[in-house]
Structure 1
Amino acid sequence: MARKLTITALARAAGLGVATVDRVLHDRPNVSPRARMQVAEAAARIGYPLPAALRGAATGDLAEVTLGFVLHKRGQPFYQRFAAEIGRACAARADLRIRPQIRFSPSQAPDDFAKEIGALAGDCQAIAATAVNHASLSRLAGDLARRGLPVFSMLNDFAGSSGSGYLGLDNLRVGRLAGWMMATRLQAPGKVAVFVGGTRWHGQAMRDTGFRACLRDHAPRITVLDTAVNLETRAVTYEATLDLLERVPDLSGLYVAGGGMEGAIAALRAARPPDRLTLIVNELTPDSRSALADRYVTMVIATPLEQLCTDLVDQMVRSVLTPGAKRPPPRKPDPLLYLPESV
């Protein structure tokens, strides 16, 4: 009788460690597409029995999955890069043929996000979106979930308990990082301001909360002004920043907790010399990189998009292939920090 093949034999044939092969066979995270392919090819050579998805990777007869993504701000470099990273993460999967469908909401209105999510619902097996918090969107996520269509939140947890998971930074932690830098940079009593996009971005509200809490803990001498709304637009942020500089001549710092940082950078370039005001923003773009180099921006807190998109696609695929299975919540990646000497 032929001897039963072991995982050790498969690992030897694949040129990988037993632990790595075990993760591949049990579809656990932190496995590269190349490792999946090596295991699949080695199993085909020695006759080791594989799960269906890995058998497809070995034979080239790959199962196809269609995933839908809704972003916004089509013209902004950050979201253009986000879309590109989603495409790369889908293409990198060696065990499946993933067809990404990426749409952009024309505005930040809840109805526009709902329309784009609804447009994907008929063709896709899982959906992820960067949407605002609104009762209509959490209801939509719940309705789709009951129909067997998982909905994931990206960057801002709009779906909450109705969704299948949140993929993004720990926003409270992001705010505390901004507060720590502000406290460290400002060694004397002063006034600082915070911009958020609006009341429908709960992730930004969490950043505002973390920012204020950190300053209370480490720099109670610093006064934080009332939170201002910039609608995440460059034009509103530009005018609001100029108005702040005029009304509060002793303003020492500004934290832009969401979008619109380009307006704050442009206003400081027009009204102040570099290094006079501590400006902290989110996401590394051509504008923020240039402002770091010119010392108009003190720190950029950025989302590791490559890691985020890899984790996102993995979570979406798992929800499709093993519906109803209990999965650990998605991990929150560590933010990337950029300083003037980093760029």
Structure 2
Amino acid sequence: MDQRKRPTIKDVAAEAKVSVATVNRVLGGSDAVRQGTRERVMLAAEQIGFYGTGALRSRVAAARPRYKFGFLLHQPGRVFYRNTAEALRAAAQGVVDAEIDVRTEFLDDLSPQNIASRMLALGAECDAIGVVAAVHPLVIQAVDALHARNVPVFALISQISATGQVHYVGLDNWKVGRTAAWVFEHVCQAPGKLGILVGNHRYRCQEMNESGFRSYFREHAPGFTLLEPLPTFESSAIAQEMTEKLLTDNPDLSGLYVAGGGITGAIAALRASGRAGSLVVVGYEMMDVTREALLDGTLTFVIAHPLSRLANEVMAGMVRAVSAPNEGGNVTTILPFDIYTRENI
């Protein structure tokens, strides 16, 4: 096409492989054009520099369905959940067939009573909600109440229901635990004592982490001694205290598995004890503090959620759930986890 000629509606139609009438209907805001066709016409206009691209863009945006999705995440001071929130916002902006308004709340009070209350409040304002929560009758009751109001609930990171009644996007945590165990078997110089930290056993992800961890040793490495897990209650300060206790009570400790919240506290305790680098330590999530701990040898191995992919899957699942509620079906998406050592970051 002559570059000096201003592109016309006919040129847009040819580029998009649609009729001139279709382009005119998109420009006029007609409801008779499918959203996918509108998007194709807009992209074609952008590619050839059509003078009416701005009008097309506004028409396409106005035709998109609008949804409000709410998310309840853990404490705002935890970098992992701030990163999760940012990934969700980015994923919402990348949805091309709907306009998504994301509302995120960070909860300091992780009691079942507060989580259930905030779920119901958020569900009253949103088309669907996502939540990181422990399994508890009050939480399940809130899920049932929201479902009765046709508000889909998605469990993020940790499953709420073992029966698949609640949408879930996250990892296969039993496999995560077995992978962590494999590391200890292959990196420890000899079988020894292993400490375990969990945030709260009511989080199914952490319960499955520990279950998979123990099952691997029963099957492949029975010579290791697995100590009873110590709870951190998702607190960095408590994780630091529990790590200090493990190190004091077990001077012959060979390794530490941080199977739940509090990784920053565990790292701080290891460094303060002077034993950082002498133990095999497996923890979770890639962020500045774990990256530095891998580099200086405090951590041996990190297992992490692929946050961008998780967020994209959540958005796609929520859009499907609210746009076609009568289709039914449970959304369960098991993501591959990322693995980091000092040599691949």
Compute the displacement of 1:186 (Å): 1.4
Q: Matched residues in 2 for 1:83 and 1:37: separation?
A: 28
> 2:81 and 2:129 mapped to 1: Cα distance?
17
In 2: Cα distance, 1:59 partner to 1:283 partner: 38
**2:69–2:102 contact (8 Å) kept in structure 1:** yes
The structural deviation recorded for 1:233 is: 1.1
Equivalent residue runs for 1:145-294 within 5 Å: 145-161=147-163, 163-294=165-296
User: Quick one: distance in 1 between partners of 2:203 and 2:307?
Assistant: 19
Q: What is the CA–CA distance in structure 2 between the aligned matches of 1:253 and 1:187, rounded to whole Å?
A: 11
Moved more, 154-163 or 71-80: 154-163
**Residue equivalent to 2:314:** 312
Give TM-score scaled by structure 2 length: 0.82
Q: 1:98 to 1:174 in 2, by over 3 A?
A: same
Mapped partners of 2:43, 2:110: distance in 1: 49
Whole-Å Cα distance in 2 between the matches of residues 180 and 39 of structure 1? 51
CA distance in 2, matches of 1:57, 1:125: 24
1:132, 1:158 within 8 Å by CA — same for their partners in 2?
yes
Q: Is the 8 A contact 1:170 1:332 kept in 2?
A: yes
Query: CA separation of 1:318/1:164 partners in 2, compared to 1, >3 Å: closer, same or farther?
Result: farther
The one-letter code sitting in structure 1 at the alignment partner of 2:252 is D
What amino acid is aligned across from residue 333 of structure 1 in structure 2? L
Q: Secondary structure at the match of 1:245?
A: helix
Which position in structure 2 is the counterpart of 1:48?
Answer: none
In the TM superposition, 1:31-110 aligns within 5 A as 40-42=39-41, 59-61=60-62, 62-110=64-112
The SS at the match of 1:75 is coil
Q: Is the 8 A contact 1:73 1:106 kept in 2?
A: yes
Cα distance in 1 for residues equivalent to 2:86 and 2:43: 33
The aligned amino acid for 2:263 is M
- The residue type paired with residue 272 of structure 1 is G
Is the contact between residue 317 and residue 331 of structure 2 (CA under 8 Å) also seen in structure 1? no
Q: Secondary structure at the match of 1:70?
A: strand
Aligned-partner Cα distance in 1 for 2:336–2:235: 26
| SS of equivalent to 2:325 | coil
Q: 1:298 to 1:320 in 2, by over 3 A?
A: same
| Cα shift at 1:303 | 0.3
Q: Secondary structure at the match of 2:103?
A: strand
Q: Amino acid of the residue matched to residue 61 of structure 2?
A: G
Q: What is the one-letter code of the residue matched to 2:279?
A: L
Give the superposition deviation at 1:42.
4.2
Q: CA deviation at 1:163?
A: 4.6
The answer (yes or no) to whether the contact 2:61–2:99 under 8 Å persists in 1 is no
Q: CA deviation at 1:216?
A: 2.0
Shift of 1:151: 0.7
Instruction: Write out the 4+ residue segments of structure 1 that deviate beyond 4 Å after TM superposition.
Output: 12-15, 36-39, 42-45, 55-58, 159-163
CA contact (8 A) 1:14 1:39 kept: no
Aligned to 2:117: 115
**Count of aligned residue pairs for this structure pair:** 304
| Aligned-residue offset at 1:84 | 0.6
**Pair 1:43–1:241, CA change in 2 (3 A):** closer
Superimposed CA distance per residue, residues 4-26 of structure 1 (whole angstroms, 9 cap, x where no aligned partner): xxxxxxxx9669xxxxxxxxxxx
Asked if 2 retains the 8 angstrom alpha-carbon contact of 1:190 and 1:221, the reply is yes
**2:300: which partner in 1?**
298
Normalised by the length of structure 1, the TM-score is 0.83
Letter in 2 for 1:166: Y
Deviation, structure 1 residue 256: 0.6
State the Cα distance separating 1:217 from its structure 2 match. Answer: 2.1
Q: Secondary structure at the match of 1:98?
A: strand
Unpaired segments ≥5 residues, structure 2: 1-13, 18-34, 45-55
Partner of 1:330: 332
Tell whether the 8 Å contact from 1:66 to 1:101 is kept in structure 2 after alignment.
Answer: yes
- Residue 334 of structure 2 aligns to a residue in which SS? coil
Name the amino acid aligned to 2:73: L
Q: Which residue identity lines up with residue 41 of structure 1 in the other structure?
A: R
* Counterpart Cα distance in 1 of 2:84 and 2:235: 19
